[in-house]
């Protein structure tokens, strides 16, 4: 196990370095000069040159890269010219809203997905099973941003029961969280369904039944418990997709999180914020995937063995 952990950690560190480098490359490839935007159309060429110098943009690329690496190690992504403060501060300030949104969506997905999955998997092949499976497939393919807009149209504009945008309150969280949860609800439902369908035929379920437990007790006590762990691990592995979805959903609902910050920073060429936000999101993905991996490995020794190969 130690070998496995060490190897995974090493790969994780390597990945983080790669992420940081990739972000640097992408940002440097972009046309449009940060100094020009900051100084506006009336600046003289000398002013622009001076600011480029202050920002270190006139140094050789390799030098810029190494000093960037050095800063990143200290978690310093430079000053955001838009916000006039360290980019990471701004990013960290928006982070809780994104966490809130993704957590709420995860909980909804797990709860709704489990219920759907159990209902479907209880009698594999039944009409109900087929219906739920098809609906789940459909849900998984729904374009989330489009669903979000339809929710706004229905619940905010037509029925006027929920606010369409903004952050902060309970009512504000409902629409974005539900929208974000939809594909994951479908994913969890499908996984639970196959898990339950499989377990239903296993010996210990038969035993439980023969002991005289009710069908409901068998389901919750044995079947669901058994399918829960893989579901949670997969959700851990899906955290990247979830965060990616959040970026778009936040923009649709003007949820004041990392995603809407990132999208506007891209438009404003606020490189410091783009770098800080991207790296932070990637970091979350790496760490959570790593955690999910470890949990998986602990549960399933075959994975540990494979790592040795």
Partner 1 sequence: MTIRTRRSLAAGAGTVALLIVAAACSSDDPASQTGGSESAGGDLTVAGPIPIENLDPHGAASLDAGTQLAARAIFSQLVVSSGPGEFEGELAESWEPNADTSEWTFTLREGVEFSDGTPVTSADVVASFERVLAGDGPLAGNFGGYAAAAPDDSTVVFTSGTPDAAFLGKISSFFVTPQAAANEGFFQEPIGSGPFVVESFEPGATLQLAPNPGYWDGEPALDSLEFQSIPEVAARMTALQTGEIDITWAMPDDQIAQLKSDSNLTVENVASPAVFTMWMNSSTPALQDPAVRRALWQAVDFESIIGSLYPETGTPADSPISPAVLGYAPQEPVPYDPEAAKAALDAAGFDYENTVIRWQFSQANFRNFVDAVVSDLAEIGVTVEPMEKEQAVFLEDLLALNWDMNLQQLGTQGFDAATNLGRLYTCEANRIGYCNEELDQILAQAGSTSDTAQREDLYAQAIEIIWDDAVGMYPMFVEQPYAWRTSVEGFEPVSDGVPYFDEVTVSGD
Partner 2 sequence: MTQSDILLAEAPGPAVPPARRRRRRPLAAIPYVIIGIYVLAAAIGPVLIDYDPVATEVTERLLPPGSATESGTAWLGTDAVGRDVLAQVVYGARTSFIIGIAVVTLCGLIGVALGAIAGYSGGLSDAVVSRTIDILMAFPGILLAIVIAGLLERGMHVVIIALSVGGWVGFARLSRSITMSTRERDWVDAARIMGVSKSATLTRHIVPFLAGSVVALATIELASAVLSEAALSFLGLGLPPDIVSWGQAIAGGREHLGTAWWITVFPGTALTILVICIGLVGDRLTRRFTRKRD
Check residue 80 and report its DSSP letter: E
State yes or no: residue 305 binds partner 2 (CB under 8 A). Answer: no
| Alpha-carbon span 219 to 273, nearest angstrom | 48
CA-based end-to-end distance of the chain: 14
- Piece in contact with partner 2 (CB under 8 A), picked from 54-62, 72-80, 274-282, 297-305: 274-282
State yes or no: residue 187 binds partner 2 (CB under 8 A). Answer: yes
Nearest distance, CB of residue 212 and partner 2, angstroms: 27
State yes or no: residue 285 binds partner 2 (CB under 8 A). Answer: yes
- Binding pattern to partner 2, positions 2-31, x when CB under 8 A? ---------x--xxx-xx--xx--xx-xxx
Nearest distance, CB of residue 255 and partner 2, angstroms: 14
Check residue 157 and report its DSSP letter: I
State yes or no: residue 203 binds partner 2 (CB under 8 A). Answer: no
Placement of tokens 């903004």 in the chain: 166
State yes or no: residue 56 binds partner 1 (CB under 8 A). Answer: no
Alpha helices in the chain (DSSP H): 2-29, 34-39, 45-55, 61-73, 87-122, 127-141, 144-151, 170-200, 203-210, 215-218, 225-237, 239-253, 258-268, 271-299, 301-308
- Piece in contact with partner 1 (CB under 8 A), picked from 7-15, 33-41, 275-283, 300-308: 33-41
- Piece in contact with partner 2 (CB under 8 A), picked from 47-55, 90-98, 141-149, 172-180: 141-149
- Binding pattern to partner 2, positions 204-243, x when CB under 8 A? ------------------------------x--xx-xxxx
For residues 81-114, one letter each, b for 16 or more C-beta atoms within 10 angstroms of the residue's C-beta and e for the rest, the string is bbbeebbbebbeebbebbebbbebbbebbbebbb
| Alpha-carbon span 177 to 93, nearest angstrom | 20
Nearest distance, CB of residue 214 and partner 1, angstroms: 7
Instruction: Identify which of residues 18 and 214 has a Cβ nearer to partner 2 in the complex.
Output: 18
- Binding pattern to partner 1, positions 66-95, x when CB under 8 A? ---------------xxxxx----x--xx-
Nearest distance, CB of residue 5 and partner 1, angstroms: 30
Report the C-alpha dihedral over residues 40, 81, 260, 91, rounded to 10 degrees. Answer: 180
Nearest CA-CA partner of 217 in 225, 128, 189, 188: 225
State how far the alpha carbon of 309 is from the alpha carbons of 7, 33, 259, 273, 296, in Å: 12, 48, 39, 40, 17
| Alpha-carbon span 254 to 19, nearest angstrom | 27
| Alpha-carbon span 293 to 33, nearest angstrom | 41
Contact status, residue 91 vs residue 280, Cβ threshold 8 Å: yes
Nearest distance, CB of residue 241 and partner 2, angstroms: 5
Give contact residues for partner 2 (rule: CB under 8 A).
11, 14-16, 18-19, 22-23, 26-27, 29-32, 121, 124-125, 134, 137-138, 140-143, 145-146, 149-150, 152-153, 157, 183, 187, 193-194, 197-198, 234, 237-238, 240-245, 247-248, 251, 262-263, 266-267, 269, 274, 278, 281-283, 285-286, 289
Q: Applying CB under 8 A, which residues contact partner 1?
A: 31-44, 47, 51, 54, 81-85, 90, 93-94, 96, 100, 103-104, 107-108, 110-112, 114-115, 118, 152, 156-157, 163-170, 173-174, 214-217, 219-220, 224, 253-254, 256, 260-261, 264, 266-269
């Amino acid at each position: 196990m130690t070998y496995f952990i060490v190897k995974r950690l090493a790969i994780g560190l390597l990945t983080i370095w790669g992420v940081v480098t990739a972000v640097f490359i992408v940002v440097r490839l972009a046309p449009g000069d940060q100094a020009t935007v900051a100084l506006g159309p009336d600046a003289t060429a000398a002013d622009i040159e001076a600011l480029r110098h202050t920002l270190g943009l006139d140094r050789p690329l390799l030098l810029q890269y190494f000093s960037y690496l050095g800063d990143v190690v200290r978690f310093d992504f430079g000053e955001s010219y838009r916000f006039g403060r360290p980019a990471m501060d701004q990013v960290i300030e928006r982070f809780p809203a994104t966490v809130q949104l993704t957590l709420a969506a995860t909980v909804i997905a797990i709860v709704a997905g489990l219920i759907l999955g159990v209902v479907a998997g209880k009698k594999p092949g039944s009409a109900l099973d087929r219906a739920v499976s098809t609906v789940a497939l459909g849900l998984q393919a729904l374009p989330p941003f489009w669903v979000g807009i339809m929710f706004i149209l229905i619940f905010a504009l037509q029925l006027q029961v929920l606010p369409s945008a903004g952050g902060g309150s309970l009512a504000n969280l409902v629409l974005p969280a539900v929208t974000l949860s939809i594909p994951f609800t479908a994913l969890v439902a499908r996984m639970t369904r196959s898990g339950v369908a499989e377990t239903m035929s296993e010996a210990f379920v038969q035993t439980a039944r023969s002991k005289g437990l009710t069908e409901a007790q068998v389901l919750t006590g044995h079947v669901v418990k058994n399918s829960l762990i893989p579901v949670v691990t997969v959700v851990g592995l899906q955290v990247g997709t979830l965060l990616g979805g959040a970026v778009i959903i936040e923009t649709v609902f003007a949820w004041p999180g990392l995603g809407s910050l990132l999208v506007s920073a891209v438009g404003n060429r606020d490189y410091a914020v783009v770098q800080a936000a991207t790296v932070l999101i990637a970091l979350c993905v790496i760490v959570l995937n790593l955690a999910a991996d470890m949990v998986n490995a602990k549960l399933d020794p075959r994975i540990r063995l494979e790592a040795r190969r």
